[in-house]
Chains A and B, each alone.
Chain A
Amino acid sequence: MMVRTALARFKIQLGVTAILAALLALFITLSPQTFLAGRIYISFASTIPFATLLAVGLTFCIVAGELDLSFPSVMALSGLVFTWVFQATGSPWAGLSACLATGVAAGLINGLIVVGIGVPSIIATIGTQFLWRGAAIVLADGLARNIVEVRETAVHGLFVGRAWDVVPAHSLWCLGLCVVAWLLLNRHTFGDGLLFIGDDIRTARMMGVPVDRVRILLFAGMGGVSAFVSFLICLEMANWWPTQGEGYLLLVFASVFIGGTSVFGGRGTVYGTVVGSIIIGIIEAGIISAGLSGFWTRLIYGLIIVTAVSGYAVTLKTRRE
């Protein structure tokens, strides 16, 4: 009985872990020389954390029944501000502060449009994703910005260096932030507010959840997370470019939904999202090392996403009646 209840409570987490295990088993069988060696995992630890952090931020939005389509554009704008302030002052810390402030401010504006004016978040952020991207392109004159000198700074080592010469530092930052995110969602009143707002916003309001404040904070936080990821990417690449972040939109959404978060709100796990982003992150390497051409990548993404979300729909009986 105890075991059955535990299994039922964690079925999403178990399901997504099973998908990852099956995928890894398949890749190990197809190309043992690659997937039984450590190097590929070090490389994953350097590529995956960017999407993981974004996906965890987006999980919070979707749990609360909100969408944010503007995060790739917020990344571009706040990354640009980072390169400017860094190059103007020579201080990467000043750059980071300005970058985070830009992201939070952009997120705050999203939040005010959604909560204050009342535009549904999917529509509001379709608008602002053009706005922030457009602003970044205009301000940068459409040109990429090289910041190779950032590699000489201590901040570079602290955030994207290699710990013990092996482990990418940003994977450790990502891990730490995921623990904080788990605490926020499952153990903090902020996360409790998100869950109730996503479940039924009128219930949340009647039960005394400060609905407006929580939602505005949510969007501001998503802006902050986007800015931090953009900062990490600028450091890692020593470069900023006008289309930064664009490739992440659908992959990040896919990570969240493979992770079992409900699009109807009120339900979602940080663990599921992290595993979901790992699944998305290892597929391409798995396909290439199995000897298939890279053209297969999208097709396999599609197969896995459709299978996973169908499995959840059947398990959780989400068909609309």
Chain B
Amino acid sequence: MQQNIAAPHALELNGISKRFGPVVALEEVSFHLGANEILGLVGDNGAGKSSLVKVLSGVNRPDSGRFFIGGEAVDMRRYCVATARRLGVETVYQERALAEKQPLWRNVFVGRHKTNRLGLIDVDFEKRETEIILKEFLNLRGHGVSADAEVASLSGGERQGLAIGRAMYFDAGVCILDEPTTALSLGEVDKVLQFIRSIKNAGKSAVFISHNMRHIHETCDRFVVMDRGRITHDLLKKETSLEALSSILTGLANGEVSAS
């Protein structure tokens, strides 16, 4: 693929390793995410996808390895959720991305409220901005959903939409989507895939994690396959059919020796 020399990689990982006690979650993982690229990250349960997401999003610190965002080296010892967001890396989690009993506006701004010097939150501003997100990203006008509504009143698709809308609102250069289509109805899946395409159209990048090869193949430019904490394949969409991608996954699941 012709890489644009001027635009640095949105993300680049170099030899990232992470263990939890005796369990090796990530072993020397290296990969990059191009500028304005949607990358599909696939692999069986326990392959290390979630561990990788937690490293990228700043929840867990890797034991070793180097990490670049937009070409700039990241100080891993200082890297946390707040730093990740400041550097434009937003994560949309499969679940628990939103607090059920809290109003939508709190969920949009949690962890980065607009406050005055005393730490008091500008509630009017945050509610207004939340209404804009609801209108522009979610199209929830007709439902009577307001910034004061609780998350519990949203459907699964609307929740994912809100989480993606939140990431877009904060102008994330890189969106990490951890199984956003799991447990959604068909119509809602389409909505979420539409959200992912809108990330591409907005000129941003995303890492999309899913077990559904059709969703991955439909939306992504490149596929990275993981197995037992390592990256085994790095494939371009134009050179890989849906069937080929699926058979690689099936092969790994059946314990066949990986290609690399």
Contacts and interface: CB of A to CB of B under 8 A. Distances in A.
Contacts of B97: 203, 206-207
B99 A205 contact: no
A188 interface: yes
B235 interface: no
B59 A188 contact: no
Contact of A187 (B57, B100, B123): B123
Given A203-B97, A208-B85, A189 B148 contact: no
A196 B102 contact: yes
Interface of B is mostly: loop
Interface in A2-20: 5, 9
Interface in A159-194: 183, 187-190, 192
B244 to A, nearest CB: 34
* Interface-central residue, A5, A200, A206, A267, by most chain B CB under 10 Å: A206
Given A203-B96, A208-B81, A187 B120 contact: yes
A101 interface: no
Contacts of B96: 200, 202-203, 206
Interface string B124-148: 0000000000000000000010101
Interface string B230-258: 00000000000000000000000000000
Interface of A is mostly: helix
Contacts of A206: 57, 59, 81, 91, 93, 96-97
B123 A203 contact: no
Interface residues of B, number: 29
Range of interface residues on A (Cβ < 8 Å): 20 to 34
Given A187-B120, A188-B121, A189-B119, A209 B111 contact: yes
Contact of B99 (A1, A9, A203): A203
A10 to B, nearest CB: 11
Contacts of A200: 96, 99-100
Instruction: Return the 3 tightest CB-CB contacts between A and B, nearest first.
Output: A208-B111, A199-B99, A208-B81
Given A1-B144, A188-B120, A199-B101, 13 more contacts: A189-B113, A189-B119, A190-B119, A192-B110, A196-B110, A199-B99, A203-B96, A203-B97, A205-B81, A207-B99, A208-B81, A208-B112, A266-B101
